[in-house]
Structure 1
Amino acid sequence: MAEDLCIITNYFPPETGAASNRIFQLAKGLQRHNFKVTVVTPLPNYPKGSVFENYKGTFKHTSEESNMTIHRLWIYASNSKNKLRRLLAMLSYSFSLVWFFMWHDIPKKVIVQSPPLLVAFTCMLFLNRKNRTLILNVSDLWPIAGLELGAFKKNFSYRLLERIERFNYSRANLILGQSHEILAHVGTIVPQKQTFLYRNYPDFKPPAIDTFVPDGKIKLVYAGLLGVAQGIYKLCEALDYTAIEFHIYGAGAEQKKIETFISENPKLPITYHGEVTRKQLHQALIGYDVTLVPLLKHIYGSVPSKLFEYAYLGLPTLYFGGGEGEKLVLDHQLGWVAEAGNYSHLNQVLSRIDPSSLHLENRLKLQQLALNCFDFNKQLTAFAKLI
């Protein structure tokens, strides 16, 4: 008989992006391990910052999707840079969760996604019971990441968030971390807690790479969130286009700025392709030479899931973010690295890429390496045994 399990997350399809894909894959994988999965998530709103059209005008939406029960709760949706509005958005979902907990039976096994810290805090506070297992899935380290991105200063608010972070760790029975850096940080706060390295490996059958012949300029591609942390607008300004074309997929806060820059610089070989489905994106990506995975600056604990996904596609990566992600690229020979924030070095690395090395045989080797080393099912089996 299947065991009930609940996943509480801020992101879930039909929202796009790595976070929603990661949680959906986790949910589907746990179903294969004999869990009956319920998901609690806000009404879809990311990354646009407004509730999707099909879900507007409702406080709660419940549906059966992929043999899962999905409860979508009201949220004050916003992607504003205004800190007060962002706080209201997090608090609104927290209030919805408290209301949900009051009127629903919550399974004895619960996976809580963090960040946001306040949402995780709500779950850890209201769901803590002796007979319940709370699993905290830490995908980014907050408030440290916010401090490194310049969103926070070391003041009373920051110290309050640190206390919330410690509280969340202290109430969890098991803590998942997507990087060794995250688990090392958690260990300095709650050294007695059980932890598990849960990488954001993909779970899809990669498309076949039958033919690939590099042609002319290197076709460099970025696909993902067009947010401040990724710095794609700055890249458009700083890249040396002598030997490259730059292609962009995605949506986010910088989209309008990027579109304006392209229209004002029509001679630059930059193409914005908009937002497409994940399946469409995979088919498109295998036609490019090199993918770019950037972070405006190194964020401690961050390892972009794109590194694993692109390797599954046989697509070599130029990593521009530092930290543990850089080490992964070098250790597994996934591509090239450039010093985080150093655009001169980024252009030097691009200029040294030999187009003749981008042939089909090397791409197939990269894909096979990814399938062997970044095995989602093997990792999930190990995790399922713990819970």
Structure 2
Amino acid sequence: MAKSILIITSYYPPESGAAANRIFELATGLQKHHFRVSVVTPMPNYPKGSIFKAYSGKLKQTVLEQNVTVHRLWLYASNSKNKLLRLWAMISYSLSLIWFFIWHKIPDTVIVQSPPLVVAFTCMLCLRRKKRKLILNVSDLWPMAGLELGAFKKNFSYKILEKIERFNYNQADLLLGQSHEIIAHIRGMFPEKKTFLYRNYPNFKPPILLDSSKNANKITLVYAGLLGVAQGIYKLCTSLDYTHIVFHIYGAGAEKESIVQFINSNPQLPIVYHGEVSRNALHQVLGRYDVTIIPLLNRIYGSVPSKIFEYARLGIPMLYFGGGEGETLIKQYELGWVVEAGNYQALNQTIKTLTTAGIDSKNRLIIQQTAQKNFDFNKQLSQLKKLL
């Protein structure tokens, strides 16, 4: 008989982004490995901060998607800069989760996504009392990451979040971390806890490689993803030397309007904004560009952008501009070029050298083969399955 497992997350398709994709791959992957999988998630709202039109006005929805039962619950959606409104958004989802726990039979094994810390806390508190096996999937080290991003200050509220973080880790039977830094952080607090390095490997058929655009004078540089504060794409637009590049941008987020306004105000600059497109559509077009850039405004301890693994599988050379463990991966597997986070002078100098670096289909094939060998989703899932 198939073992039942519940995944609780704040992000799930049709929402876009790494978090939604990661949990979707985990859910469908476990289902294909003969688990009976159900997912609890809010009504789709990310990154817009408002409920998607198709789900508006609903308090609850349960559907079967790719043989995974998906329960979508009400929340007060907001991506406001007002911290109280964002906190209420998390609390509202937590209240819906409590209602769900009361009226539904909960499987013996539950995977909880963290962050958000408050949502994870609700799950760990309620489900520990139900004596379930709790697996905490830690994708970012909050509140530490929030402090590094400037979202938090070391005050009383921060100390409360640290206590919640410790509580969540302490209640978990198994902790999954997306980076070695996350695992080290958890073991520093609770050395006796079981941990497992669970990378954000994608799970799609590697595409046939395309010839990138050929331009004798310029390379095509592309960014695709969230246009948020942490990524710093607006700062990138204002700091790049466009002598050697054409810069293409895909995505949406808090900085979108600033970026569009900058482009409109500087029509002489070779920047093209394509808007937000689906993941599948991105896979069709990204291979046409010479190099993709993966930036972070500041180095964030524990963070490893999932774009690294996705772009490697697509066979796209990467220009990594974020520091940390992601930088180590780029160097270790020879996936592209690394520039110190925040050093725009060094970034422009590196880009200048790329015009004569010989970016060709051979390099792309090697990157793709490296990804298939070292970033194997199903191999990793098979190892995780033994611990569930």
| TM bracket (short chain) | over 0.9
Cross-structure match for 1:144: 144
Question: What are the equivalent positions in structure 2 for 1:353-364 lying under 5 Å apart?
Answer: 353-364=354-365
For 1:312, give the aligned amino acid: R
Q: CA deviation at 1:214?
A: 3.5
* Conserved 8 A contact 2:133-2:173: yes
Cross-structure match for 2:92: 92
For 2:71, give the aligned amino acid: H
Q: Does 1:37 align with 2:37?
A: yes
Q: Does 1:105 align with 2:105?
A: yes
Q: 1:240 and 1:75 mapped to 2: Cα distance?
A: 44
Q: Does 1:262 align with 2:263?
A: yes
* Conserved 8 A contact 2:213-2:289: no
Cross-structure match for 1:247: 248
Cross-structure match for 2:56: 56
Cross-structure match for 1:78: 78
Q: Does 1:386 align with 2:387?
A: yes
Question: What are the equivalent positions in structure 2 for 1:109-120 lying under 5 Å apart?
Answer: 109-120=109-120
* CA deviation map 1:309-342 (0-9, x unaligned): 0011110110111010001101111100111111
Secondary structure at the aligned position of 1:286 is classed as helix
Cross-structure match for 2:230: 229
* CA deviation map 1:264-301 (0-9, x unaligned): 10010000001111111011000000000001100000
Cα RMSD after superposing both structures = 1.0
TM-score w.r.t. the length of structure 1 is: 0.98
Secondary structure at the aligned position of 2:135 is classed as strand
Secondary structure at the aligned position of 1:127 is classed as helix
Question: What are the equivalent positions in structure 2 for 1:202-213 lying under 5 Å apart?
Answer: 202-212=202-212
Cross-structure match for 1:285: 286
Question: In the superposition, relative to structure 1, how do residues 339 and 168 fare at CA in structure 2: closer, same or farther (>3 Å)?
Answer: same
TM-score w.r.t. the length of structure 2 is: 0.98
* Conserved 8 A contact 1:39-1:68: yes
Cross-structure match for 1:158: 158
For 1:378, give the aligned amino acid: K
Cross-structure match for 2:272: 271
Q: 2:68 and 2:333 mapped to 1: Cα distance?
A: 36
For 1:308, give the aligned amino acid: F
Secondary structure at the aligned position of 2:288 is classed as coil
Q: 1:355 and 1:54 mapped to 2: Cα distance?
A: 49
Q: Does 1:179 align with 2:146?
A: no
Q: Gaps (5+ residues) in structure 1?
A: none
Secondary structure at the aligned position of 2:69 is classed as strand
Which ranges of 4 or more aligned residues in structure 1 deviate by more than 3 Å?
Answer: 210-214
Q: 1:210 and 1:273 mapped to 2: Cα distance?
A: 20
